[in-house]
Chains A and B, each alone.
Chain A
């Protein structure tokens, strides 16, 4: 029982991380049809800059972590918005080229990060409480999982509120539904592209800082590892669906944890098989709209 609970909560924590990356990917794809390969780089740069600022202000304390998170979100949002504005916008409506540009950006930025911060992981300090465990029903659960779950829940709530309650949210939802109709009504959807990128970048930035807490290090490849799982989550959840991404993140991460524990560390393989199975049985994903 305690093992079960431990696996589920750990899975939820990992799922929270996947969700932070996948939410932006899914929104961006849903609205613009762009598969953003540079999303992992947004995460990595935020993790690095968040860590650099956080450790200079106060290393290994809650205040330092909070500052890291804020810096990470800001950096993620700014970098993502700049990417959209400078690179993606020039190739408006040419989806393959847009994806290719993000591929180039991902390759170049990872190389740049390696040049600046080196190829080895840099181990980070975190507040003492996050390194300890809490006992729930006999299961010793690492405390950082709770932080991850709480943050992801806040982000999910925030994005849902934004989409449901604001005018821009309305335009974005309508744009995901039927972009040409929104344009025909005289609304400039393109303006909301930058906003979607910024939101996705901020979520990924927060994800980057939290990933450095979860893994205990920052490295130039932090983003690329998470990106592949985020892709899988996005496709399983249904491209363009935020709820789908949330459900799929949890499912994928919990499945991964269980497979790692009971099937001898085959979590990665099981996730991939799950993706293949979902696509073959239901190609549009769990919550995706009909293509």
Chain B
């Protein structure tokens, strides 16, 4: 499932010098070094991403402009928030095997929650910083309460029924947002961010750079939490529940508690990504609460590769960039000149993404992140897939 998992438990720095003389010395050293290489690579990647706004890298066709321009930074920040959200979704779907159709609810809860609390605090004459931090705290608490409520109810059923209950709750949330109760959610037009109490550094096109760093921070934070949960004992139990729930019960563990924990953590992470989204977009649209948005997340996670943590990140970034670039392509002269048979499908980004998704599911079960392993082992199927096929 996870390429790093085998190394995870290896006590890298505790390798006895005497043991190194053994025949297995080389492989032991190699496997002890790998985590450091990965951690080093990860830190290097984050540093590169962090200094990106200070550079002028131009990738024609991939990015709309040089990396220091607000437009590009906005797009990249959005991609990273979506990646963070996809990462939290992967924790539920990939780690614990919980196919939820309601993840968008928590993302929307974060975005709308923060926006509405800021509105609610607007008349209060406290210092702005206090109100901003206070609103974030209130939203987090709301997110935890919502996640615990929905999770404890939905997890009483499993499989498709679980998917349906989560879908139902998300649908209820979506309907509520569109109904615009008491004029608080803005209905179909969406909610715009009240910037009175938002720190100046996070407002305006000039400060897109700060929002970009904020998004990067959210992504790194979500990644670390997901890593921590996956490596924890609860994470292992969640993984075991995915593979064989009955056996976990027989051993004497309670799957419900663990699944609820994973559900709550993933949902709160989604709410955090949602808050980042509100600040980045200076508002929230009802689209982010719909079932379609959750389906998009599912597409992202599967496109990137369910078996890999970084698959969700790659999927999120690739999807967002593709979506944006394909929209740009759809409006280009190149497409407009084509005959209708080609022009109509090619001018619909979702059509291309949907088709791509079908092809990935059919022919590339490991997703994008599974490609290196498929090439190195030459296996036609990802190892995780064979198990799923067997117990179906």
Chain B residues whose C-beta falls within 8 Å of the C-beta of A169 in the assembled complex: none
State A87–B302 Cα separation when bound (angstroms).
17
Q: How many residues of A contact B (CB 8 A)?
A: 43
**A170 to B381, alpha carbons, bound, how many Å?**
36
* B71 vs chain A, min Cβ distance (A): 25
Given A101-B358, A112-B345, A276-B169, A269 contacting B299 (CB threshold 8 A): no
Asked if A91 CB lies within 8 Å of chain B CBs, one says yes
Given contacts A95-B392, A100-B361, A104-B357, contact A272 B351 (CB under 8 A): no
Contact in complex: A97, B168 (CB < 8 Å): no
Most chain A CB neighbours (cut-off 10 Å) among B299, B302, B347, B348: B348
User: How long is the Cα–Cα vector from A29 to B160 in the complex, in angstroms?
Assistant: 10
Asked if A90 CB lies within 8 Å of chain B CBs, one says yes
Q: Which stretch of B51-59, B171-179, B186-194, B281-289 is in the interface?
A: B171-179
Q: Give Cα A235–Cα B385 distance, bound, in whole angstroms.
A: 28
CB-defined contacts of B291 to chain A, threshold 8 Å: 228
- Is A115 within 8 A of B345, CB to CB? yes
B304 to chain A, nearest CB (A): 13
B99 interface hit (Cβ, 8 Å)? yes
Residue pair B350, A107 in contact (C-beta under 8 Å): yes
Also in contact, A115 and B348, with CB within 8 A (given A97-B365, A272-B172): yes
Contact of B351 among A91, A94, A112, A265 (CB under 8 A): A112
Cβ contacts under 8 Å, B361 to chain A: 91, 97, 100-101, 104
| 1/0 contact string of B22-53 vs chain A (CB within 8 Å) | 00000000000000000000000000000000
Q: Is the CB of B171 within 8 A of A87?
A: no
Partner of A272, one of B171, B302, B350: B171
| Contact residues, A246-276 vs B (CB, 8 A) | 265, 268-269, 272-273, 275-276
Contact indicator A107/B161 (Cβ below 8 Å): no
Whether B298 contacts A114 by the Cβ 8 Å rule is no
A231 to B167, CA, bound (A): 10
Contact with B along A222-248 (1 / 0, CB 8 A): 001000100110010001000000000
Known: A111-B348, A112-B351, A280-B156. A232 touches B99 (CB 8 A): no
Q: Digit string of A81-97 for contact with B (CB within 8 Å is 1, else 0)?
A: 00000010011011111
With known contacts A91-B362, A104-B357, A268-B175, A111–B350 Cβ distance under 8 A: yes
Q: Which residues of B contact A91 (CB under 8 A)?
A: 361-362
| Measured CA separation A275–B161 after assembly (Å) | 10
State whether the Cβ of A283 lies closer than 8 Å to any Cβ in chain B. yes
Q: Does A105 contact B (CB under 8 A)?
A: yes
Considering the complex, which residues of chain A in the window 1-58 have a beta carbon less than 8 Å from any beta carbon of chain B? 29, 33, 35, 37
Min Cβ gap A183→B in Å is 14
Q: Cβ of A150: which chain B residues have Cβ within 8 Å of it?
A: none
If A35-B160, A100-B298, A104-B358 touch, whether A269 touches B347 (CB-CB below 8 Å) is no
Interface assignment of B388: CB less than 8 Å from any CB of chain A: yes
Check: A139 CB closer than 8 A to any chain B CB: no
Chain B residues near A116 (CB-CB < 8 A): 344
The docked-state distance in angstroms from the alpha carbon of A228 to that of B176 is 16
One of A94, A112, A269 near B172 (C-beta < 8 A): A269
Are A228 and B298 CB-contacts (below 8 A) given A96-B388, A108-B354, A273-B172? no
Is residue A174 within 8 Å, beta carbon to beta carbon, of the partner chain? no
* Structural contact, A94 and B157, CB atoms closer than 8 A: no
Q: Out of B156, B298, B354, which one reaches A105, CB within 8 Å?
A: B354
Contact B157 A279 (CB under 8 A): yes
Knowing A95-B392, A269-B176, say if A114 contacts B348 (CB, 8 Å): yes
Whether the Cβ atoms of A115 and B172 lie closer than 8 Å is no
Contact code string B259-300 (vs A, CB < 8 Å = 1, else 0)? 000000000000000000000000000000001100110110
B351: chain A residues at CB < 8 Å are 108, 111-112, 115
CB of B349 within 8 Å of the partner chain: yes
| A interface list, Cβ under 8 A from B | 29, 33, 35, 37, 87, 90-91, 93-97, 100-101, 103-112, 114-116, 224, 228, 231-232, 235, 239, 265, 268-269, 272-273, 275-276, 279-280, 283
Q: Name 30 interchain pairs, CB-CB below 8 A, sorted by A.
A: A33-B392, A90-B362, A91-B361, A93-B392, A97-B365, A100-B302, A100-B357, A101-B361, A103-B298, A104-B357, A107-B296, A107-B353, A108-B351, A108-B358, A109-B354, A111-B350, A112-B351, A115-B344, A115-B347, A228-B167, A232-B168, A235-B164, A239-B160, A272-B172, A275-B164, A275-B168, A279-B157, A279-B161, A280-B157, A283-B157
